[in-house]
Every structure is written in C-alpha cells, then in structure tokens.
C-alpha cells in the first residue's frame, strides 16, 4: 500500500494498521558508529530489530557482506546472528539464573563452543569492559552500569562485526551514562566494530555518532555527520530537534575558522610582511615554512621595531603563542581566545596552518546557526 | 411450556462404558504400568528399616535444603513420631502413592504446559478443560476411575493425577509466558535454536514459577490420595476412613497427624528446591 503511494494516515484509516517503517535507504560503513536517533514511536528500535530480523520487514533488503538478511532462511539467519551481529539491550536483558561469566559466554555456548574455550573468550570480553574480578558474581548484585557492561561483554564475546545497541545507556543515571559513552568511544577506537546505536538522546547521538540518522514517523529525515545535522538541518523537524543542543560542544575549530590569509613565508622580508598587513588591515600575520607548517606570529609593532633595528623577519616573530587544533570544540576555544592578544591559529595534527579564528568568527558561527533555527 | 430434558448423565455413562468395553486392553496395559510404578516407589521406600530411612531422608533434606537445620530436625522428629504412632507402613504406602501420582502428573503436565505456552490455540482448548478438572468435585473422578480400573491403588492414582495436574500445566504455561520479551530477544539475537531457547532461557527463567506448580501438584496429590481411600487406595487415607466409620477419634487423629507431617515435609522440601532470585 505504501508502494501504491498512499500516506501513512490513509493506510491507517483504511486498515487500522500502522506503517512502522517505510522508504528507508541507508548504508552503514564498516567500522563506523551509526546512530539511529528519534523520539519514541519514530521506529528506530523497530528498524534496529529489522537489521537482525527480530522483526522481519515486509519488503526490502538488508545487505551484510553482500548477503540479504531479509531473504535468509532460519539456518542462514542463525549463522549471521551467531557470528556477525550481536545486540545490546536497553533493559540489559541478563539471564537472572546465570553468573556474570555465564551470561557473557551465552553467545559462545549457543554456538556449541566447549566450556574451556568459551570461558577464555568470555574472560577476555569481561576484561575489555572493565569487570575483571566479577566473573562469578550474580548479575542482580551488580549496579545498572555494571550490568550493562555485562551486556556489552556478552555482545563482544562472540567477536561479531556488527553491534546493534538498542538504547543501551538510556536506563542508566546521567553520570554513569556519560561514563559508559566515554568507555564505548575508547573501546570503539580500539575494536573498530560497526556499531548501530539507537538513541533518543541527541547529546548522546552527537557524542557517539560518526554519522546520525534522524528518524521521524518511520522514515529518515536526515542522515549526516553531527556537524552536518547541526549546521544544515534538512527540514524543520530536524532543526527543531537540534534546537536545544549546546553547539559549543559540537562545533569545532574547523567549523568556525576563517581561511588563514594572508600568511607569510619565513624566508620573506619584513617589508613584504608589513605591506601585506597594511593591505589587509590587520595587526599581525602568521609565519609558515615552505610546507605551510606554522612557525610563529608576527605582530605589526614587532615588525616595525625590527625593521628599525635592521633585523631579519626570522628574528622578529613570536614563537610562544596560542594555537588550537582542527577538532578542538568551540567550548574549549572560547576561554583561550578571550585571553589571547592575537588571532588564534588553527593547525592540523602535523602542525600545518589551516585557518584562523578571531573573536568575531566564533560569535558569528554561533549566531548563524541560531538564526537558521528560528 | 415443557422444558425438554437432556439426560447428560446418561450420555456420559454410556460413553464411559463404551470406552471401557472397547479399549479395555489399553486400560489393562496402563493399569499394570501404574501398579508397577507404585510398587516400585513403595519397595524403594520400604527397602530400609524405618530408623535408617529417617536418618537417610534427614541427610537428604539437609543437603537439598542447603543446610536448613530447622527443616532437617523437623523432618527427623516428624517421621520419628509417625514410627512411634505405629503408622510407618501406612505412611510409606501413602507416600509411594503421592510420589507416583505427582510423578505422572508432572510427566504429563510440564510438557503440556510448555506446549500450551507456545501455542495459543492449544492453550485455548486446554484452558476450559483445566477449569473443568479443577472445579469438578474431586469425588466425581472416583466413579469412572473405578469403572475403568476397579478398586485399589490404580484408580486412586488416576483420579489423583487428574486432580493434581491442572496447576502444574497452568503454572508452567504462566512461567514461560512471563519470561521477559527482552530475554527471548537475547536468545534469538544470539542465534539460538528453539530447543536452546527453551532449555537455556525459557525454562531456567520460568523455573521458580514451575516449581510453585510442582509444589501445588504434590500438595494436591496428597489431599486426593486420602480421598482416594474411598475406592480402595491403601495408606493413611484408609485409616482416616475407618476412623470415620467407627467414630474412632483417636485413630482418625493419629492418621490425620501423620498426613500433616508428610504434607509439611513435602511442602518445605519442594519450596527449598525452588531457586531463589
């Protein structure tokens, strides 16, 4: 019925059945954290369950390594679930009659792996999530955060390619949640799993996601990196959604910087430097080497003094000054720029000059995104 | 206006006799199986002299109840009292009948409960049958039991099984239905086969509820075994019956006390078997 062009509302009126998901098309890249984000009822958990077919989609295909999960028979599906894809649940879903290690080893046990081997692997997974020493504990004795670590360890123990995480941290206290998010990020930087993470918390999505899909009423309103979602919302729904976010946490130096022009080579003369500054109406200029690696900053008064004393440019510029890296969040830039006398240089990880931030550009960037919202 | 009369009783009677006439050989086969079962339990329990039996059972209780001193001492004292009252042999007869009945009821009831939990339409068929079995006065079962199996332990057991099975089925079904959906999803998401799901997730999680069913089953068996004395089931029930017929308060009370002791021991024992959460 969706295919024949009826809207969700029309279908509901005709059949009294709600269309859960429709017209979804997206790729999840290997090794990325992909966040499905939306309010309750938007279909994000349903979509996640379609990926491992806890819920079977009525039409469409879901490809993993080129195989279509939607078209698999029970046997093939079981193999995928055992070896390629595991899941972490919102309510932890630990088996109450099992100890921590037996919970973690559950997936391996299902695969029929002998006890010694599966305990070895489970032990490893328990270590990864920082629960060493709790192997024999009863799960009900653990705190919420620890229980979800067990859930995570259980999902990691079979060494799957894909982790499906269904609101995995939503049931935790804010502090513990934030701690778990940090640990997931740290773990992910080592393991490089493909993670599909469902969340209704935008801050969480922005923190964890390499890319985010914002869902509404069973379709995806926008897919993009956190910056893309924040800086160019696809429609009113998305911009409304992101309205409450503290952008200083999300926007980085890269988003607010201007092109670092002009700059001057370390081999040039002071006269050239002074001319450039005069022409552009600025009071200082960045000095770079031939590879555009940032060397220092030359304020106009230093240049004037040096040329009076017949010094060269390389003797005149300041080496000790403030600079930030591309991915530094704006919230960390603000205090730096407030104290700095000069514009802030933005460099990449090998020290190349990438851009410049002046006070106005930070405020401007924040103001622009605010305007777009209203 | 004349209300037509429908002789349901006559039809049931006809049906019962027809079944007896045509399937007598099956009933005989079943009968001999059941009496072997009962004799087996009885001989096993009678194998040891009373004192040795009491020591052994107390040790068993001690281990099974995870070192529950009170229960162990209570068991030993209770059984000793039975021996002192001179009711040992009759008590063992009763115990054998209870164990055989409960065994049969669980053997049929638990698998049926599992299937009913998985299959809603079967559950819809079974449910009224269970209501029927539980609410029909238990004496009524005695009549067809007698027709099919004559007098003695066998019809006693059959009537008991019919009476004691419903809570087992019900609670097994309930227990499995109550397994949280997320745990079922865990089983599926990690690639369980249906059998693995049943034995590694559903049954263990449902176990406390199922054990409550086992406990109920044993308790109901005990109460029915006493009533079954009316159709010749041996044991303490018969003693009570004789007490009633002769208005012999002492004899009735002693037999009743022995039943209470057995009931309490069985109840506490099955409860202590239930895994604590």
Integer Cα distance of B216 and B165 in angstroms: 9
B186 contacts on A by Cβ (under 8 Å): 87, 89, 93, 95, 106
What's the confidence (pLDDT) of residue A372?
Answer: 53
Give B119→chain A minimum CA distance, Å. 19
Count CA within 13 A, CB hemisphere, residue A153.
Answer: 32
Optimal mutation site among B178, B182, B186, B274, interface A, most CBs of chain A within 10 A: B186
Question: Are A107 and B193 inside 8 Å of each other by CB?
Answer: no
Q: Which helix (H) or strand (E) holds A122?
A: helix A115-128
Among A98, A110, A140, select the one facing B191 at the smallest CB separation: A110
- A353 pLDDT higher than 90: no
Torsion, Cα B52 B58 B59 B61, to 10 degrees, reads: 140
Integer Cα distance of A318 and A241 in angstroms: 45
Please write the tens of the pLDDT for every residue from A188-222: 988 899 999 999 888 888 889 999 998 888 888 88
- B29 pLDDT higher than 80: yes
DSSP per position, B198-226: IIIIIHHHHHHHHHHHHHHHHHHHHHHHH
Take residue A222 and report the two structure tokens written for it. Answer: 């926008």
Please write the tens of the pLDDT for every residue from A20-46: 676 777 888 888 999 998 887 788 888
Take residue A300 and report the two structure tokens written for it. Answer: 């106009």
Take residue A137 and report the two structure tokens written for it. Answer: 């504990």
Integer Cα distance of A316 and A306 in angstroms: 6
DSSP per position, A149-189: HHHHHHHHHT--SEEEEESTTTTS-HHHHHHHHHHHHHHHH
Least confident of A322-336, B59-73, B193-207: A322-336
Q: Does B32 touch chain A (CB under 8 A)?
A: no
DSSP-derived 3-state class of residue A267: coil
Question: Are B190 and A110 inside 8 Å of each other by CB?
Answer: yes
Question: Are B277 and A96 inside 8 Å of each other by CB?
Answer: yes
- B7 pLDDT higher than 60: yes
Rounded to 5 degrees, φ, ψ at B91 are -65, -40
B191 contacts on A by Cβ (under 8 Å): 77-83, 107, 110-111
A91 contacts on B by Cβ (under 8 Å): 180, 182
Long-range contacts (CB closer than 8 Å, 24 or more residues apart) made by A12-19: A19/A218
Residue A306 neighbours by CB distance under 10 Å: 20
Length of chain A: 374
Among B185, B200, B204, select the one facing A93 at the smallest CB separation: B185
Mean confidence (pLDDT) of chain A: 84
Give A231→chain B minimum CA distance, Å. 37
What's the confidence (pLDDT) of residue B277?
Answer: 46
Domains of chain A: 8-247 (3.40.50.300), 254-370 (3.10.580.10)
Q: Percentage of chain A with pLDDT > 90?
A: 23
What's the confidence (pLDDT) of residue A368?
Answer: 60
Among A78, A89, A154, select the one facing B191 at the smallest CB separation: A78
Contact B159, B224 (CB under 8 A): yes
Nearest CA in chain B to A84: B190
Angle between helices B50-64 and B69-84 in degrees, nearest 10: 160
Q: How many beta-carbon pairs below 8 A join chains A and B?
A: 66
DSSP-derived 3-state class of residue A370: helix
- A154 pLDDT higher than 90: yes
What's the confidence (pLDDT) of residue A291?
Answer: 82
Please write the tens of the pLDDT for every residue from A244-253: 676 677 777 7
**Domain over B9-47+85-273 is classified CATH 3.40.50.1110:** no
What's the confidence (pLDDT) of residue B108?
Answer: 93
The reported pTM is: 0.74
DSSP-derived 3-state class of residue A193: coil
At A370, the pLDDT band (50, 70, 90 cuts) reads low
Residue with tokens 């450039």: A276
What's the confidence (pLDDT) of residue A5?
Answer: 65
Give B231→chain A minimum CA distance, Å. 44
At A147, the pLDDT band (50, 70, 90 cuts) reads very high
Please write the tens of the pLDDT for every residue from B98-128: 999 999 999 999 999 999 999 888 889 999 9
Rounded to 5 degrees, φ, ψ at A46 are -65, -45
Integer Cα distance of B48 and B56 in angstroms: 9
A154 contacts on B by Cβ (under 8 Å): 190
Mean confidence (pLDDT) of chain B: 88
What's the confidence (pLDDT) of residue A211?
Answer: 92
Instruction: Using alpha carbons, select from A39, A35, A19, A26 the residue that is nearest to residue A166.
Output: A35
Contact B207, A98 (CB under 8 A): no
- A367 pLDDT higher than 70: no
Rounded to 5 degrees, φ, ψ at A242 are -90, 5
Please write the tens of the pLDDT for every residue from A156-184: 999 999 999 999 898 888 888 888 999 99
What's the confidence (pLDDT) of residue A369?
Answer: 56
Q: Percentage of chain B with pLDDT > 90?
A: 38
Q: Percentage of chain A with pLDDT > 70?
A: 92
- Which of residues A304 and A6 earns the better pLDDT score? A304
Please write the tens of the pLDDT for every residue from A300-328: 888 888 888 877 777 778 877 778 888 88
Optimal mutation site among A51, A56, A96, A141, interface B, most CBs of chain B within 10 A: A96
DSSP-derived 3-state class of residue A27: coil
Report residue A15 CA to chain centroid gap: 40
- B15 pLDDT higher than 90: no
Range with the largest mean pLDDT of A19-33, A283-297, B50-64: B50-64
Q: Does B190 touch chain A (CB under 8 A)?
A: yes
Instruction: Using alpha carbons, select from B131, B114, B133 the residue that is nearest to residue B122.
Output: B114
């Amino acid at each position: 019925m969706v295919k024949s062009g009826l809207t969700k509302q029309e279908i509901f009126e005709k059949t009294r059945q709600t269309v859960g998901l429709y017209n979804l098309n997206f790729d999840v890249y290997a090794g990325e954290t992909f966040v499905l984000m939306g309010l309750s009822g938007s279909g994000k958990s349903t979509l996640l369950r379609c990926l491992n077919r806890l819920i079977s989609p009525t039409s469409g295909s879901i490809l993993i390594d080129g195989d279509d999960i939607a078209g698999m028979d029970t046997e093939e599906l079981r193999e995928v679930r055992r070896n390629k894809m595991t899941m972490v649940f919102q309510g932890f879903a630990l088996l109450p009659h099992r100890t921590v290690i037996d919970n973690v080893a559950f997936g391996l046990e299902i695969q029929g792996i002998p006890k010694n081997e599966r305990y070895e692997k489970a032990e490893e997974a328990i270590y990864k999530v920082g629960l060493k020493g709790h192997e024999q504990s009863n799960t009900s004795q653990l705190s919420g955060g620890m229980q979800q670590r067990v859930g995570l360890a259980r999902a990691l123990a079979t060494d799957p390619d894909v982790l499906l995480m269904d609101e995995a941290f939503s049931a935790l206290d804010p502090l513990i949640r934030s701690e778990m998010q940090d640990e997931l990020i740290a773990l992910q930087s080592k393991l490089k799993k493909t993670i599909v993470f469902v969340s209704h918390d935008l801050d969480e999505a922005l923190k964890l996601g390499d890319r985010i899909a914002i869902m509404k009423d069973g379709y995806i309103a926008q897919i993009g990196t956190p910056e893309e979602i924040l800086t160019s919302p696809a429609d009113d729904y998305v911009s409304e959604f992101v309205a409450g976010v503290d952008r200083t946490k999300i926007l980085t130096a890269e988003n607010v910087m201007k092109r670092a022009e002009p700059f001057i080579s370390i081999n040039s003369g002071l006269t050239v430097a002074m001319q450039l500054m005069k022409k552009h109406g600025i009071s200082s200029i960045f000095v770079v080497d031939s590879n555009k690696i940032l060397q220092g900053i030359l304020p106009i008064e230093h240049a004037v003094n040096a040329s009076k004393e017949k010094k060269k440019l390389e003797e005149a510029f300041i080496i000790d000054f403030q600079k930030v890296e591309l991915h530094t969040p704006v919230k960390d830039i603000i205090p730096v720029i407030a104290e700095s006398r000069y514009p802030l240089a933005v460099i990449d990880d090998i020290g190349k000059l990438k851009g410049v931030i002046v006070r106005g550009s930070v405020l401007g960037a924040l103001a622009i995104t605010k305007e777009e919202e209203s | 206006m004349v209300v037509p009369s429908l002789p349901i009783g006559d039809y049931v009677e006809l049906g019962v006799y027809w079944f007896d006439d045509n399937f007598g050989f099956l009933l005989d086969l079943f009968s001999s199986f059941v009496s072997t079962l009962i004799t087996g339990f009885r001989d096993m329990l009678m194998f040891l002299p009373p004192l040795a039996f009491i020591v052994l059972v107390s040790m068993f209780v001690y281990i099974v109840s995870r070192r529950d001193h009170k229960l162990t001492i209570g068991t030993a004292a209770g059984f000793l009292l039975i021996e002192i009252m001179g009711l040992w042999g009759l008590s063992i007869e009763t115990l054998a009948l209870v164990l055989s009945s409960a065994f049969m009821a669980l053997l049929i009831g638990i698998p049926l409960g599992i299937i009913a939990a998985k299959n809603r339409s079967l559950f819809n068929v079974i449910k009224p049958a269970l209501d029927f079995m539980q609410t029909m006065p238990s004496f009524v079962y005695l009549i067809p039991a007698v027709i099919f199996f004559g007098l003695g332990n066998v019809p006693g057991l059959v009537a008991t099984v019919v009476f004691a099975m419903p809570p087992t089925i019900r609670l097994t079904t309930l227990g499995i239905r109550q397994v949280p959906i997320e745990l079922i999803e865990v089983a599926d998401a990690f690639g369980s086969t249906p059998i693995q799901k049943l034995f590694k997730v559903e049954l263990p999680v449902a176990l406390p509820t199922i054990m409550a069913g086992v406990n109920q089953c044993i308790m109901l068996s005990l109460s029915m075994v006493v009533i079954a004395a009316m159709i010749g089931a041996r044991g303490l029930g018969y003693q009570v019956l004789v007490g009633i017929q002769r208005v012999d308060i002492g004899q009735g009370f002693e037999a009743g006390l022995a039943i209470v002791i057995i009931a309490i021991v069985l109840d506490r024992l099955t409860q202590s078997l239930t895994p604590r959460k």
